[in-house]
Amino acid sequence: MKEFIEKSNQAAAAYLNRRGYEIVEQPWEDDIDSPVSIVAQDEDALVFVSVAARRNSDSFPPEHVNQEELEGFAISWLKDNRDHADCAIRFDRIGLLLISPDRALIRHHVNAWGSCV
C-alpha cells in the first residue's frame, strides 16, 4: 500500500509540474499520513494539495477532506516557512484512478473550498 501511495503522490507532482506549478515541498516523503501531499507555487498562490488515489475501482476516491486538518497543516507549515508568509494560499485536491499499471485518470479540483485565503 505504501508503494501505491508513493507512486500516486509522484504522479500528482508530475501532473502539477506539467501544468507549470513549482513543487515547493512534498510532505508525504517524511510522513505518509500527512493531510497535505504537495505544497506548490502556482503564479501568486501557494497551493496545499491533498492527493487521494484508487485502483481496482470504477470511481474516483471520495471528495471528503478534513478542512480543519488541512488548515492546521498550512498554518504550521507557514510558521516554519516564513519566506512564503505574505502570499495568497489555496487548497487543491487531486484524485487519481489507476486504470492500468502505468496509466491513471486524474481529477484536479482547483481551489477546493471556493476562495483563496
Q: What is the pLDDT of residues 48-74, one digit of tens each?
A: 999 988 877 776 766 666 888 899 999
Question: Distance between CA atoms of 69 and 91, rounded to whole angstroms?
Answer: 12
pLDDT (tens digit per residue) in 17-57: 999 999 999 986 667 678 899 999 999 899 999 998 887 77
Specify the pTM. Answer: 0.87
pLDDT of residue 59: 67
Q: Is 91 helix (H, G, I), strand (E, B) or coil?
A: strand
The CATH number of 2-109, from 3.30.540.10, 3.40.50.800, 1.10.20.60, 3.40.1350.10, is 3.40.1350.10
Q: Find all residues with CB under 8 Å of 112, minimum gap 6, and list them.
A: 50, 65, 91, 92, 93
Q: Which three cell numbers stand for residue 15?
A: 501532473
Grid coordinates representing 14 are 508530475
Q: Residue 89 — very low, low, confident or very high, per pLDDT cuts 50/70/90?
A: very high
- Pair 88, 115: CB distance under 8 Å: no
pLDDT-based confidence at residue 104 (cuts at 50, 70, 90): confident
